[in-house]
Structure 1
C-alpha cells in the first residue's frame, strides 16, 4: 500500500507521453473534452479528426490498442442508451437498414456515441500513461482542494483492498452452496453489500485514528511531483 502501489489502468512504459508532466496531461484532457462536448452534433468531420488525434496519441504512447479497447467496455450503458434513442425520440422519421427511426434521435445517438467514446478513450490514455501518485501530484500543482486530492488518493489506495474483500465474501458464499440465480437471492447479495460497506467504513475509521495518532493534521506528506521536463529528475 505504499507509494509504489500501482493501478490496473496504468500501462508501464517509457514513451514521451509517460514522461510528460501529469498536470499538463490533465489540462490537455480537460481542454480536449470541453472541445468535444462543444462540437455541434452534425460536424462529422470534426469527430473524425478528434479520433485521428487520439489514435496518434495512442501510437506515441505505445499503449497496445487491445489494452484500451478492453477497457472501453465501461461505456456500455451509454451505448445501450444510444441504441434506444433513434426508436424512442420523436420528430421526422427515416429508414435505416429496413428500420424506421427518428432522424433527431439518430443524430443524438451518433453524438452521444462519438462524444462518449472520445472522452472515455482520452481518459483511458491519461490513466494508462500516468501513475496514480503522479496524477495526484499533478492535481495538487493545479491547486485542486487538498481534501479532494486526499479522498482520491485513499480511493486509489484502497479500491484493491475493498475489491479483494468482496471477492473473499463471494468465495465464502459459493463455498456454502449459494449462487445468485434469480431475484429471490437478491436479499442475500444486498446483505453482503451492506456488510462490505460497514467493514470498509470501520476500516476507514481505524486508518484515520492511526493517522491522527501519528500526527496527521489534515495534510498528507508531500507527494513526489512529476518531472517538469523529460530527462530531468
Structure 2
C-alpha cells in the first residue's frame, strides 16, 4: 500500500471546485456530510481520521471526472508500480454465479463461496467501474459499506437478526445485512429466498412477527 499525498482532503475539495456539497452528493451517491468529512480527513462525530475506500473513490472519480487510478494513487491505495502488469501472476476468471458474497477492501477483493475465499488485487481489474456494473448485472446487491451479496444464492433470511444464509437450514455460511439495507431490500430478499428455494412466499414465510430487527455489524459465520 502506498502513501497518501499530503492534505489529500484538500485535494478532494479542490476537485469539487465550485460544485456545492449537495450537488456533489447527488452526482456521487454519497452523503454531503460524508464528502465534507473526507475533505476534512476526519469523522466530525468521532474526530477519528478516515480514509475513503476504493468504492468511494470510484464514485468521486465519476462525479468529478477525475481518473480513478490516479485518485487511488493519491489516496495511498496504489503505487505507480502496482499498475504495471505482473506476467507471473495469471488473472483468474471468477464465475460470479457461484459466488456467495464479495468483500471489497483497500487493495483486494475477496470472492467467497461455500468452500473457499479467493483474493484478487484491485489493481488487476481493468476498470473498477465496469466491475461494479457486472456485480449488479449478476444479481449482487450492496448490503454494507464494502460487502456485496449474490441474491441468487440466498436460501434463508433471519429477519430478526439480519442474517442472510446460503443454505436453507441456516447452519452454514452467512453474512449480516446492515439495518439501512435491510429496510431497502427486505421485500426483494424475501422474494429471492422463495424463488431460490422454489417455494411460495406464503408457505415459506407466513405472517411476520411485526417486531423490529436487531442488527449487528457485518460479520461472517461458518
TM-score between the two structures when normalised by the length of structure 1: 0.28
Query: Whose helix proportion is higher, 1 or 2?
Result: 1
Query: Whose strand proportion is higher, 1 or 2?
Result: 2
State the structure with bigger RCO (CA 8 A, min sep 6), 1 or 2: 1
TM-score between the two structures when normalised by the length of structure 2: 0.29
